[in-house]
Structure 1
Amino acid sequence: MAEIKQVLMPDIGDSKDVPVIEIMVKAGDTVKTEQPLLTLETDKATMDVPAPFDGVVKNVSVKVGDKVSEGTLILSIETSATETSAVAISTTPPVSVQETANPPPASSVAVPITPTHLPNNLTSKVHASPSIRHFARELGIDLTQVKGSGVNGRITKNDVQSFVKTVLAQSQSGAGGGGLQISAMPVVDFSKFGAIETKPLSRIKKLSGANLHRNWVSIPHITQHDEADITEMETFRKELGEEYTKQGIKITPLAFLLKAVVTAMQQYPDFNSSLDTSGENLVLKKYFHIGVAVDTPDGLMVPVLRDVDQKGIVQLAKELGEISTKAREKKLTATAMQGGCFTISSLGGIGGTAFTPIINAPEVAILGVSKASIKPVFKESEFVPRLMLPLSLSYDHRVIDGAEAVRFTSYLSKVLSDVRRLVL
C-alpha cells in the first residue's frame, strides 16, 4: 500500500534560518535512499540533506533562497509500506519524517546529514549528535572527556559549554586566580565624523573571526621567517606544467610545498601533533592531512588534502584545483575541512614579503608563504640571481621551541631547493 510521508528538517544544533542554496529534485522525480534532496549553507560549509527512503517526490515545499530550521517541511515522498519498513534504523540524528498515512511501526527512518569522524575505538564511547561533535571540534574539545547529561548519557551543547567553563576556571585558579582581562571595545558613533555605510559580515567571516580570535588569545604564537631558493624547482615546475596542461592540470608551487612540508613533518614529528585537553600530553599523528587556506569572495576557507604523504605532485596539483573550485563555488562539505594536521596559507600569488599567520587550533603550526622574488645570492665565490621564496612559520611555543622551528624551516628550505629530496 502506497503512503505519503512529509520530510522535515532535523535538529541542526543552534543553526536557525539556514539558507537553501540548491534543490536537486522536483515533483515526479524518483529518488533513492541517501540521494541528496537539497543543499544548505551552514557554518563554514555546505551540507546535503539526503532522502530517507526510496520513493517518488510528490511536491517540494521549499525553494532556493528559503531559510529553514528544525521542523521545517522540506518535501513529501510517496513510497510503499514494504520499501519503508525495509529501511535500516541508524544511530545518527534522523531527518524527521511526519506520516500522513498509517504505516507499520517499523517505518521509523534515520538518515545522517553530517558525517562524523572519530577513531573506531572512540565511536562507541561517545554519544553526541554530529552538530555537537562539530561544535566540540571547533573548540578543540575531546568529547571522551565530557560527561553527557542527556538521555542514555548523550552529550548536549550545555555539557560541552560547562566542560569548557570548568577547564578555564581550573586554568585560572592554577595561575593564582589571575585570568586574561580584556577591556571592552569602545563604542563609537562614526557617523559624527562623516558619511558611513554598514555592511554585514558574511557567515564565513563571522565564524572565522570568532575562531581566529580564540586561537590568537589562547595560543602563544611565535613566527620564524626564512627563505628558500626555488630556482631549480620553478624550472622543473614549468616543464611539468607544459606536460600536463593538455590534461587540464595546473602545476602550482603549492603542490611542491605540500610534499616538502610533509617531508619536514616526518623529520620533525612534533609539528604533526596536538595538545590534549589536559595540556600535559602531545597527541602524535601518524597520518598527514594538510589544510590549504583558500581565498573566496565570502572569506577564507581551509579545505584539507588527505594522505599527502601517499600522493605525487601531479595528483596533489589536480586535487588542489578541485578543492579550490569547490571552495569558491561554496560546494565544500563539512568533512572536507576537518582532520587537518598542519595548514599552509599561500599569498604568493598576490604579493607581500612576510606575515604572521594565525595557527588553526588544534594544530600547532601553520606555514605562511609570500611572493617569490629574484635576489642576488652569494654562491661559489660570486653573486648570482636566484628565485627566493619567503616562508613565515607560526608555531605554538608550548609545544615547539625556537631552535626546533629554525631546524624545521631550514630543512624545508633545503628540500625546496633540491626537489630530488622529495623522493627520498
Structure 2
Amino acid sequence: MEVKLHDIGEGMTEAEINCFLVKPGEAVKADDPLVEVQTDKMTAEIPAPRAGIIKEFTVQPGDTVSVGSTLLILEVGEQAGVPVKIEKNLPKPAVAELQAERLQSFAAVKRKRVLASPFTRKIARENGITIENVAGTGPAGRILDEDIYKFMAAAQQKPKLPAQPAPKEPAKRNDKVTSTIPLRGRRKQIAKKMVHSLNTIPHCTHFEEIDVTELITFRNELKDQNQTISATAFFLKALSICLKEFPVFNAELDEEKEAIHLLKDHHIGIAVDTEEGLIVPVIQNIEKKSIRDIHKEMKQLTDKALENMLTVKEITGGTFTISNVGPLGGSFGATPIIQHPQTALVSFHKTKKMPVVTEDDQIVIRSMMNISMSFDHRVADGATAVRFTNRFAELIQNPKMLVLEMV
C-alpha cells in the first residue's frame, strides 16, 4: 500500500522530507513512525497506517512534496502484520518454507517502539547513535536529549550538536562566497511565510515607550510571597483586555467576501526562538484565564517548543501574536512581520533604566520599555493603533488595575 503525506495542520499544502525513520526491508507495527517531515509550523512524524514491511521509498530527504503525495510503499499482510506475498504455482513445501523465512525476517528486523521527539532523534542521528539502544528516562520511557548525551558520555564519545549554520569568513572585495547554508526545513518554511505575509499585507508599524517600573515593583512583591509570575504573562492579559476594547486587532480580513471578521476568542501566539528556528505556540482563550494560569501554560508551551514536542493543536488557531525579544536585547524596536491571516503583532523590547521628567518637572529614574506594533493597514488605521497601545500602557503602568478589569 502507498503511505501518503496527509494534512497534519491547518492550511498545510506541502512539507519537506527531513529523514526516514525506517529502512527498506524493516518490519513495522501500526502507528510506528516512518518519516519525519517539516511543515511551515512544526516538525512531525508520519506513522504507519498498518503493520507491514517497508518495501521502498518514493521520495528523498530534502524533497518538498504536496499533501497527497506518496512517501513510501508498505507491504501489508495477514499473519501478525507479516506480508506474505506468495508466488503462484509454488508447491506447498516451498510455500511453507517461504512463509517461515519471511516470519524469521520479520522477527529479525522488528524493532521496539521508541518514544522520542524529532529533535531528540536528530541529535542521535547526527551523532551516529542507534536510538533504540538508548534507555529513556522520560515519561513512559521517552528518550530525552540528556539521555542521548549520557549515552555518548558512557561510550566516551564527544557529543556533536545538531548542525548549526557555518560562520561566514570576513568579506573581501571581489571574493566569492566560500560557505553556504542550505535553505531547508523550518528555515525554508519561515522564509515562505514571511514573503507571503509581506506580499499580502500592507504593514504599518507603530512604536511606543512604556514605563514598567510599577510592574517590576509589583512582581517583586509577589516574589516576596513566593509567587513568581513572568512579565510576559501580565503583557498577555493586558493585551487581551485591549483586544476586547479594540476587536479590530483580533480579526481576519476576508478579501473574497470583502468582510472583516471580528473574532470573539483571544488565541494569542508566543514566538519562541528554538534551535530549529522560530515557532509560535498558541495559548487558547486568554480572555478566560487568570494571569497565574497564563504564566503556567506559557511556560509549558515554551518548554515543549524548545524540545520540539508541540502538537498541531498547540501551534494553530492563533488570532494575535507577540514576540518578546527583550531578554536578547534590542532597545529601540523593530518592525515585526504579521502572522498571516492575523491583523496585528506586538513586539516587546529590552527594558532600560532612564531619567524621566515628571509632570512637576522632577527628574527620576524609571524602567522604560519600547514596544512595536505592526498591523494590517487595510483593517485598521494608525490612530486606532495609538489608542490600543495607550490603553495597554495604562494597564501595564498601573498593573493592579488588571485585577479590577478582570472582575
TM-score relative to the length of structure 2: 0.64
Q: Give the Cα–Cα distance (whole angstroms) in 2 for the partners of residues 293 and 361 of structure 1.
A: 14
Q: 1:334 matched to which residue of 2?
A: 312
In the superposition, relative to structure 1, how do residues 198 and 396 fare at CA in structure 2: closer, same or farther (>3 Å)? Answer: same
Whether the aligned pair in 1 keeps the contact of 2:21 and 2:33 (CA below 8 Å) is no
Is the aligned partner of 1:11 residue 2:5?
A: yes
- Partner of 1:317: helix, strand, or coil? helix
1:334-375 deviations in whole A, cap 9, x for unaligned?
Answer: 332211111101110011121111111111111011101112
Q: 1:45 matched to which residue of 2?
A: 42
Q: Give the Cα–Cα distance (whole angstroms) in 2 for the partners of residues 393 and 74 of structure 1.
A: 50
Q: 1:323 matched to which residue of 2?
A: 301
In the superposition, relative to structure 1, how do residues 294 and 264 fare at CA in structure 2: closer, same or farther (>3 Å)? Answer: same
In the superposition, relative to structure 1, how do residues 288 and 323 fare at CA in structure 2: closer, same or farther (>3 Å)? Answer: same
Of 385, 388, 391, the match for 1:408: 388
Matches within 5 A, 1:171-320: 192-194=174-176, 196-241=178-223, 251-278=229-256, 280-320=258-298
Q: Give the Cα–Cα distance (whole angstroms) in 1 for the partners of residues 370 and 75 of structure 2.
A: 53
Deviation at 1:77, TM superposition (A): 8.3
Deviation at 1:71, TM superposition (A): 4.6
In the superposition, relative to structure 1, how do residues 28 and 286 fare at CA in structure 2: closer, same or farther (>3 Å)? Answer: closer
Flag the structure with larger Rg.
2
Q: 1:177 matched to which residue of 2?
A: none
Q: Give the Cα–Cα distance (whole angstroms) in 2 for the partners of residues 303 and 75 of structure 1.
A: 37
TM-score relative to the length of structure 1: 0.62
Whether the aligned pair in 1 keeps the contact of 2:75 and 2:83 (CA below 8 Å) is no
Deviation at 1:100, TM superposition (A): 5.0
Of 377, 386, 400, the match for 1:397: 377
Q: Return the letter of the residue paired with 1:421.
A: M
Is the aligned partner of 1:372 residue 2:351?
A: yes
Whether the aligned pair in 1 keeps the contact of 2:351 and 2:368 (CA below 8 Å) is yes
- Partner of 1:234: helix, strand, or coil? helix
Q: Return the letter of the residue paired with 1:19.
A: C
Q: Give the Cα–Cα distance (whole angstroms) in 2 for the partners of residues 387 and 78 of structure 1.
A: 70
RMSD across aligned positions (CA): 3.5
Matches within 5 A, 1:41-190: 41-43=37-39, 44-50=41-47, 52=49, 67=61, 70-73=70-73
Q: 1:356 matched to which residue of 2?
A: 335
Whether the aligned pair in 2 keeps the contact of 1:38 and 1:49 (CA below 8 Å) is yes
Deviation at 1:78, TM superposition (A): 6.8
In the superposition, relative to structure 1, how do residues 213 and 52 fare at CA in structure 2: closer, same or farther (>3 Å)? Answer: closer
Q: Give the Cα–Cα distance (whole angstroms) in 2 for the partners of residues 244 and 344 of structure 1.
A: 27
Q: Return the letter of the residue paired with 1:414.
A: E
In the superposition, relative to structure 1, how do residues 41 and 14 fare at CA in structure 2: closer, same or farther (>3 Å)? Answer: closer
Q: Give the Cα–Cα distance (whole angstroms) in 2 for the partners of residues 315 and 274 of structure 1.
A: 27
Structure 1 runs, 4 residues or longer, greater than 3 Å off: 11-18, 20-23, 26-29, 35-39, 48-53, 57-63, 66-69, 73-80, 97-102, 238-245
Is the aligned partner of 1:417 residue 2:397?
A: yes
- Partner of 2:370: helix, strand, or coil? strand
Q: Return the letter of the residue paired with 2:256.
A: S
Q: Give the Cα–Cα distance (whole angstroms) in 2 for the partners of residues 403 and 366 of structure 1.
A: 16
Whether the aligned pair in 2 keeps the contact of 1:46 and 1:334 (CA below 8 Å) is no
Q: Return the letter of the residue paired with 1:41.
A: V
Q: Return the letter of the residue paired with 1:413.
A: A
Q: Give the Cα–Cα distance (whole angstroms) in 2 for the partners of residues 303 and 17 of structure 1.
A: 22
Deviation at 1:199, TM superposition (A): 1.4
Instruction: Return 5+ residue gaps in structure 1 as ranges.
Output: 1-6, 81-96, 103-189
1:162-181 deviations in whole A, cap 9, x for unaligned?
Answer: xxxxxxxxxxxxxxxxxxxx
Deviation at 1:323, TM superposition (A): 1.7
Instruction: Return 5+ residue gaps in structure 2 as ranges.
Output: 7-12, 64-68, 87-171
Whether the aligned pair in 2 keeps the contact of 1:290 and 1:340 (CA below 8 Å) is yes
